Amino acid sequence: MQPRRSQCLPSPQRGAATPANLFIFLVVLVLAWLLWSGIYKPVVLGLGVFSCLLTLFLARRMVFFAQSSELLSMIRRLPGYWLLLVKDIIVSSWNVTKIVLAPKLVIQPTMVDTDGAKLGEMGQTILGNSITLSPGTVTLDIDDGRLLVHCLLKKDAMALKQDDIVDRIKALES
């Protein structure tokens, strides 16, 4: 259960970015920026070009392109996942609201180890963020596919042990 200091350095380039990858990404960035800004003065445009290039550089440095195809294939299934997640969030928000407003504060802080080893890196990120997003559960540490989760109620910890959410993300990934 002892948390280990995880590696901060980017892992070696697995799928290096092809020029086509970089170009498509840049076009998407520029289009998004033009749509968002709506002001077409030289100074503002210059800043836009600068921020697009900076984003491209950072994305490449983060080894974003090694996972971009995985992400693209996921996009179709994301809205359905979001709907389920929003439903979960509403239910757990209601539970936390009841705890906070109860005259007598009753909490059962519980830690639980969730196994996300069967998910890829992207899946583990989504799992950790989804857990943190729902009120009442917070991811404390991710290490070797194991997620250390702090829960406000024992009930939530038990639910996490059932692996429902892991299976849901597995379906999202494949």
Partner 1 sequence: MIEWLLIVVDIVSWILLIIGSICVLIGGIGVLRMPDFYSRIHAASLTDTMATLALFSGMILQAGFSLAAAKLFAIMLFLLLTGPTATYALANSALLSGHKPKAAVLEKKVE
Residues that bind partner 1 (CB under 8 A): 1, 3, 5, 35-36, 86, 89-90, 93, 96-97, 99-101, 105, 107-113, 128-130, 132-141, 148, 150, 152, 154, 157-158, 161-162
Q: Which is nearer to partner 1, 56 or 148 (CB)?
A: 148
Nearest partner of 152 among 114, 98, 116, judged by Cα:
98
Q: Which is nearer to partner 1, 56 or 112 (CB)?
A: 112
| CA triple 118-141-99, angle to 5 deg | 105
Record the tokens describing residue 148, joined without a space: 């250390």
Q: How far is the CB of 63 from partner 1 (least distance, A)?
A: 17
What sections of the chain are H helices per DSSP? Answer: 19-37, 42-61, 68-74, 78-101, 121-133, 154-161, 164-173
Q: How far is the CB of 171 from partner 1 (least distance, A)?
A: 20
Q: How far is the CB of 19 from partner 1 (least distance, A)?
A: 28
Residues 104, 111: contact at Cβ < 8 Å? no
Q: Which is nearer to partner 1, 20 or 72 (CB)?
A: 72
Q: Which is nearer to partner 1, 23 or 161 (CB)?
A: 161
Q: Which residue's structure tokens are 């290039």?
A: 53
Cα 2 to Cα 66: distance, rounded to the nearest angstrom: 31
Q: How far is the CB of 129 from partner 1 (least distance, A)?
A: 4
